[in-house]
Structure 1
Amino acid sequence: MLFRLVRPLKRSGSSFSYFQQRIPADLKDKVRGKSLALPVGSETVLRKIPPKAETIRFSLKTRDPSETKVRQAEVAAYLEQVWASYRNEAPLSLTQRQAVALSGALYRSWVDEGKERSIAVEEQPDGSFKRADVETPDERKAVWAAISEAWNGNLSEMDPEVLEPKLGPIVDRKLAEKGVGAVDQQSRLFLLSAFAQALSDAFATRSRNAAGDFTPDPKAERFPEWEDPKQPEVRPVRAIAPSSLTALIEGWWQEAKATQRAVSTYESYRNTMARFVDFLGHDDARRVTKADVIAFKDFRLAQVNPRSGKPVSPKTVKDSDLAGLRAVFNWAVVNDRMASNPAEGVTIKLGKQTRTRSKGFTQGEAKALLAHALNHQRGTEQPKTFAAKRWVPWLCAYSGARLGEIVQLRKQDILQEGGIWIMTLTPEAGTIKNKEAREVPLHEHLVSLGFLEFVRSSADGYLFLTPAKDGSTRGAWRGVKNRIAQFSREVVTDPNVAPNHGWRHLFKTIAIEAGIQERVIDAICGHAPKSVGATYGEVTAKAKADGLARFPRFEV
């Protein structure tokens, strides 16, 4: 290492040489007002840098030209480490071994018998120490014993709040001597504890010396050699490439699709991003701020849902809009498309929703809707739309299945196994919430109503929807769901019950009343088991069929 050496100066009226070095321009504001522990021969001289200082200047306390050169080099090396420590702003992490090693310098400075100037001190009310005029060995012994006892008593619990004001400045000076600036919180605790123990050991040694015991202190060997800490690895900052918000959602989906995320999630996030772009009036991801996201949240809460005519619910804004933005922006940060996530921390605290009725259909609503389906006459609508209105409500009523799971049924999903007619709800046909196929036996009432004859007469493929020319079914699936919802609303007009999800709630209510085992009900509905133990063993098609045999008919 090269040090900036300057020639020692001579002060008028003094025969001692003086050290002088300019304070680096980039550090003036950082170091002014700080204290330095300058090595001058066998002493350590404390100097506080004045607020307007341009240089470090002090006496080397020697007239010998050779000694002057040695001291000049030692101080220059020390200051080079100090400057390096202030330039190194990234907190370093020290091991406990390094903390103990650094505290060894403090220990050695206090047990050095040659420094008679500090042989006796008095602790002041403010925690500082002052030289005491002690003459006799007995007095010295008593003083050191008192100092050791007082220090150990004050620091018996090693409380950082007690240690910091007493030892913090010393720790900082010793770190600076090694070229270390800031350290992390755990390292600071290591250092304070190590320095406190080192001082305690040093006081105990001086107390023994004052009593005439100069046997070597075995604790002096516990301090290892200092090893420079590893500098934290600085990752190169990658430039954030220009990216549109629209491109972010598509990039996110390419990765999410590979991990089997649901298409419905992509559609929800895509719609949210489209609304966000329209709200902002631009499509530049780099310009988005947290304030923009908060403003969008407030904007959405004030909007009216065109379908219901009511304000958009806080739950929708929280779980769809904000969750979507947060997920996509987080992906963008991880993939260096954005520097930070502007949606992080933006949320809505939901209160408990007011309920004025059950989430399930009443018996009267269920029978009215089933009669509406049974008596529906085909007009100009497509055959599959007519079939969906005729059979989907009945299939939901006797299975507790989700509307989307029934709408995507195919002819090959209806088959007989072991004498039991079942419908297979499978991800191969489309969207299944938990991505797991399940078999649901057909209720005997469905068979007597002619559902199997309808299936046999249908063409291969989907029973209730027609795929697009490219084979995709998403648009048709959504269209049939919407038409069934509208069809149900013709009868069930209460806005406090979902027109299709009401079947799942009613199915479980009736199944419980019928005495069907809870695990069987969950297996039919596709709900997760309530415990780990419930995952052992299979709920077979026979067990489900036996349970559904107890499920009463809807008489309409």
Structure 2
Amino acid sequence: MTTRPWKHPKTGIYYLRRAVPADLLALIGKREEKISLGTKDPVRAKSLHAHALLELDGRWTNLRAGPKLLSEREAHEMVEPLYAWWIDQHRDEPSQQAFWRIDLGENLWPRRPSGWSLQSNLAATLINEAADPAVGARRDMEEWCTDQADAVLKQRGIVVDQSDRRKLARAVAAVMQRASLALKAAAQGESLDVGQQPIARSTLPLAMAVQPYDTAPITLPPAKLSALVEAWWREAERTGKSVSTREAYAHAFRLLTRFLGHDDAHRVTKQDIVRFKDHRLASRKRNGELVSATTVKNSDLAALKAVFGWAHDNGHVAGNPAVGVTVAKAAKVKLREREFTAEEARTLLRAALHLTPGRELPQTYAAKRWIPWVLAFTGARVGEIAQMRRQDLRREAVAGYPDGVWMLRITPEAGTVKTKQARDVPLHPQLVELGFPAFVQAVRAERLFIVPDAAGRVAGPLQGVKNRLSEFARQYVSDPGVSPNHSWRHRFRTVATEAGIAGNVIDALCGWSARSVGERYGSVSLKARADAIARLPQITL
């Protein structure tokens, strides 16, 4: 704990850190207050630290004072800074303010007539209200105002009863309505009469967020959702994050932006994230199937949590609205093994072998023709093969093989490898007989199965080829219990185990991590790998 700004050892952001007094531990629920100052500048940090310390002392004083009665005047004074802040948010483009609906702002928390709950058609009334979009929007606004009231109370350490909490929420609604009406007039060319100079966000009592974040005296610059992803990536790239992760995260943020209808990171609330989650769970993929809960949880929400979390830690946004949002885990019904059956494998390989060129790109045709066969005999991930370059196949001298062995190198130099480690996989004799090495040598371009975009990037084209391969496989293996590309990886292990290949050799071929400390010692030689691949049986169609 320190009375001076504390510099975070990883991010370089300065914080206020102060031990919570013993008499307030039960009320605050933690032993230390840690508040971001939102800056890496030591000089600015000192000034902000002093301001934050005053606010913290005031909060603790209010907590010690116990419950407080709020008058309407006090409630309006507490939230008045919202007016200038909201004006400042939309001063340049007042017509773009779409969050606060003026048509609903005057009628929040409507009073029910006496005897309302006893009316004969109550059920029908409730059903009609539930179906009315305006009712849902009004409830969202009421919840937002209540959360802002909670943020003000939390920041100041003020304890009130439920009645005064509602009073403060109504004051939030009133000031937002006035500010939004002023913006509407400004959109028609009228001058903005703020009534006071636009205040810095450092003096705001709350952050624009649906959940009551820990607020701090910081200045938050405008932040677009798309810009947050790029800023996150500039740092994440140095830590070894893959390009595919960047693409996946950027895709999730594009979906969020499209769903919200705006690109303002400061306007994203927890309620928005929940609605987005529900929207994604109800969405369908190109093949008509619902987006899986696993995709929403481990891809969409994971991306939002990671980027918003980074943005919060680095002072770009007031909080992480995705925190706590998740998808309930449901037990999957398993009706079959995840690998292709022998007959499914033969059907798909037969289709690939006899495929004739169509109107698609030569690279796409080549992918459909060769990649299923390569996956069947290597256990590789589909992306590892689809991104393959001509120079990634070479002939190696291996003891016991007079003519050498064709060796496929799966390497991060070609693109994305999940483990970020290169590995060598010998070609099975059947792949050689079918002419795969001859095909590779005949290709003039560097990439065998994709065409990089104008900037030389491969991530987008790679995903396109993977999609085409999935669609191709689904024509012949439609069972949703198997993955059209990844099931080759499952089948490879089963076939390799039946052939008597040692588990550590299978792991080395497929790029799986060692399962024990002992297995991390030593390595699997090229000869051991070649011997293992040679033991795999030929596939008879």
Report the TM-score, using the length of structure 2 for normalisation.
0.58
The C-alpha deviation readout for 1:294-321, integer Å capped at 9, x for no partner, is 2222222222x23232322221111112
Structure 2 counterpart of 1:217: none
2:402 corresponds to 1:417: no
On the 8 A contact 1:326/1:343 being kept in 2, the answer is yes
Greater shift, 436-445 or 451-460, is seen at: 451-460
Structure 1 counterpart of 2:218: 238
Structure 2 counterpart of 1:532: 517
Give 1:539 deviation, angstroms: 0.6
Give 1:554 deviation, angstroms: 0.6
Secondary structure of 1:422's match? strand
Structure 1 counterpart of 2:532: 547
Structure 2 counterpart of 1:522: 507
**Structure 1 residues 245 and 464: CA distance shift in structure 2, 3 A:** closer
Distance in 2, matches of 1:408 and 1:347, equals: 33
Distance in 2, matches of 1:90 and 1:481, equals: 61
The C-alpha deviation readout for 1:487-540, integer Å capped at 9, x for no partner, is 212211212211111100111001111110000001111111111110100111
Secondary structure of 1:549's match? helix
On the 8 A contact 1:269/1:320 being kept in 2, the answer is yes
Structure 2 counterpart of 1:185: none
Structure 2 matches for 1:29-108, cutoff 5 A?
Answer: 89=60
Report the TM-score, using the length of structure 1 for normalisation.
0.56
AA paired with 1:354?
V
Which residue of 348, 351, 356 corresponds with 1:372? 351
2:373 corresponds to 1:388: no
AA paired with 1:488?
A
Give 1:87 deviation, angstroms: 6.0
Structure 2 counterpart of 1:284: 264
Structure 2 matches for 1:184-263, cutoff 5 A?
Answer: 237-263=217-243
Higher RCO by CA contacts (8 Å cutoff, separation 6 or greater): 2
Structure 2 matches for 1:76-225, cutoff 5 A?
Answer: 89=60
The C-alpha deviation readout for 1:453-499, integer Å capped at 9, x for no partner, is 22222225112222234322223222222222222122112122111
**Structure 2 alignment gaps of length 5 or more:** 1-55, 63-156, 158-214, 398-403
Structure 1 counterpart of 2:210: none
2:277 corresponds to 1:306: no
How many residues end up aligned between the 2 structures? 330
Distance in 1, matches of 2:59 and 2:275, equals: 40
On the 8 A contact 1:420/1:542 being kept in 2, the answer is no
Which residue of 450, 462, 482 corresponds with 2:435? 450
Which residue of 379, 382, 390 corresponds with 1:403? 382
Distance in 1, matches of 2:482 and 2:516, equals: 30
Structure 2 counterpart of 1:316: 295
2:490 corresponds to 1:510: no
Structure 2 counterpart of 1:296: 276
Give 1:285 deviation, angstroms: 1.8
The C-alpha deviation readout for 1:371-421, integer Å capped at 9, x for no partner, is 111111223433322222221111100001111111111121111122222
On the 8 A contact 2:220/2:317 being kept in 1, the answer is yes
Distance in 1, matches of 2:244 and 2:423, equals: 20
Secondary structure of 1:398's match? helix
Structure 2 counterpart of 1:327: 306
Secondary structure of 2:535's match? coil
Distance in 2, matches of 1:402 and 1:445, equals: 20
AA paired with 2:217?
V
The C-alpha deviation readout for 1:311-344, integer Å capped at 9, x for no partner, is 2222111111211111111111111111111111
> Percentage identity across aligned positions?
49
On the 8 A contact 2:247/2:459 being kept in 1, the answer is no
Distance in 2, matches of 1:381 and 1:278, equals: 30
Structure 2 counterpart of 1:94: none
Q: CA RMSD in A?
A: 2.4
Stretches of 4+ moved more than 4 A in 1? 85-88
Secondary structure of 2:323's match? coil
For the pair shown, the structure with the greater C-alpha radius of gyration is: 1
**Structure 1 alignment gaps of length 5 or more:** 1-84, 92-181, 183-234
Secondary structure of 2:348's match? helix
Greater shift, 365-374 or 339-348, is seen at: 339-348
Secondary structure of 1:361's match? coil
Give 1:367 deviation, angstroms: 0.6
Secondary structure of 1:464's match? coil
**Structure 1 residues 381 and 318: CA distance shift in structure 2, 3 A:** closer
Structure 2 counterpart of 1:488: 473
Which residue of 412, 415, 438 corresponds with 1:427? 412
Structure 2 counterpart of 1:140: none
Give 1:86 deviation, angstroms: 8.4
Distance in 2, matches of 1:349 and 1:379, equals: 44
On the 8 A contact 1:412/1:460 being kept in 2, the answer is no
Structure 2 counterpart of 1:361: 340
Secondary structure of 2:394's match? strand
Structure 2 counterpart of 1:436: 421
The C-alpha deviation readout for 1:199-222, integer Å capped at 9, x for no partner, is xxxxxxxxxxxxxxxxxxxxxxxx
Secondary structure of 1:385's match? helix
**Structure 1 residues 520 and 236: CA distance shift in structure 2, 3 A:** same
Distance in 1, matches of 2:358 and 2:287, equals: 27
Distance in 2, matches of 1:457 and 1:274, equals: 39
Give 1:442 deviation, angstroms: 0.5
Distance in 1, matches of 2:470 and 2:441, equals: 26
Secondary structure of 1:251's match? helix
**Structure 1 residues 90 and 358: CA distance shift in structure 2, 3 A:** farther
Give 1:267 deviation, angstroms: 1.8
**Structure 1 residues 277 and 380: CA distance shift in structure 2, 3 A:** closer
